[in-house]
């Protein structure tokens, strides 16, 4: 089992349970997450959802590169990004409060998922980023870039995407993306108490607040359009195919800018 859903009274816990791969998302896990979100959205008894990774090394370390390697041009890329958006958007659209409990690495798809949550509580060993510029040479969808800019700001978004580095918990907290940074040994108790506190508050106030904030954010995203040209710029390239091949062969890619 790669995703576990546990409902503890008013709080649901969603655990990404693939520690042998640092909880990296498979194509099937994205589909499963979308289905779990649909189930949770229809459950009026759930007031808070906590998302976490199994173990201390990773929240979600990215996406399974084998599926990325099957992409052959723009149409495949758009279908792939749409599949991911069904899951990430499902998390963002949940009517109850959502918390990302981040231990270790939150990278790529894991970073996107964390940004789709309402709150992010990180352990002091957390690291955050999207290292695609130094790995496979693809691009984030425009919606995920928008989420990143809206949460951590344009300057840090560009730095992390340009350099491919993973920022520390302290850096991301200073940028306002992590609501709190907690010692690793205390994070479970901290998030449990936070979720319990929120679950006792008026659910319609929380739902209305989420809808209001999302409406503000969506207004900006709708103005940007779908960004198909941006997706095609990377996924149609020789560099993308070289990046995937190099990653699977465990060597450094040779970028040519075409």
What is the C-alpha to C-alpha distance for residues 79 and 42, in angstroms, rounded to an integer?
26
pLDDT tier at 4 (50, 70, 90 boundaries)?
A: very high
Tokens of residue 91, six digits: 């998390």
pLDDT reported for residue 219: 76
Beta bridge partners of 119: 99
| Segments making up each domain of the chain, as ranges | 3-186
Q: Which of left, alpha, beta for 157 (phi over 0: left; psi -120 to 50: alpha)?
A: alpha
User: Rounded to whole angstroms, how far apart are CA atoms 236 and 157?
Assistant: 23
The residues that bridge with 162 in the sheet, in sequence order, are none
Task: List CB contacts of 163: < 8 A, sequence separation 6 or more.
Answer: 133, 134
Q: Rounded distance, CA 100 to CA 119, Å?
A: 6
Q: What is the pLDDT of residues 157-210, one digit of tens each?
A: 999 999 999 999 999 999 999 999 999 999 999 999 999 999 999 999 999 999
For 3-186, which CATH class? alpha beta
């Amino acid at each position: 089992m790669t995703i576990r859903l546990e409902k503890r009274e008013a709080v649901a816990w969603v655990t990404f349970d693939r520690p042998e791969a640092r909880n990296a998302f498979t194509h099937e896990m994205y589909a499963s997450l979308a289905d779990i979100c649909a189930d949770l959205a229809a459950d009026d008894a759930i007031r808070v959802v906590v998302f976490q990774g199994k173990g201390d090394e990773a929240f979600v370390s990215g996406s399974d590169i084998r599926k990325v390697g099957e992409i052959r041009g723009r149409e495949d890329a758009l279908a792939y990004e749409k599949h991911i958006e069904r899951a990430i958007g499902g998390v963002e659209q949940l009517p109850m409060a959502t918390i990302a409990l981040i231990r270790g690495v939150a990278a790529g798809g894991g970073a996107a998922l964390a940004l789709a949550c309402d709150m992010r509580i990180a352990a002091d060993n957390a690291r955050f980023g999207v290292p695609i510029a130094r790995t496979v040479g693809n691009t984030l969808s425009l919606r995920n870039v928008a989420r990143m800019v809206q949460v951590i700001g344009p300057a840090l978004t560009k730095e992390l995407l340009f350099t491919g580095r993973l920022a520390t918990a302290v850096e991301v907290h200073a940028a306002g993306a992590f609501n709190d940074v907690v010692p690793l040994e205390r994070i479970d108790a901290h998030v449990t108490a936070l979720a319990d506190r929120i679950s006792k508050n008026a659910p319609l106030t929380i739902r209305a607040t989420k809808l209001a904030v999302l409406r503000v954010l969506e207004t900006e995203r709708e103005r940007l359009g779908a960004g198909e040209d941006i997706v095609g710029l990377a996924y149609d390239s020789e560099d993308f195919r070289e990046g995937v091949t190099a990653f699977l062969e465990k060597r450094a890619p040779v970028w040519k800018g075409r």
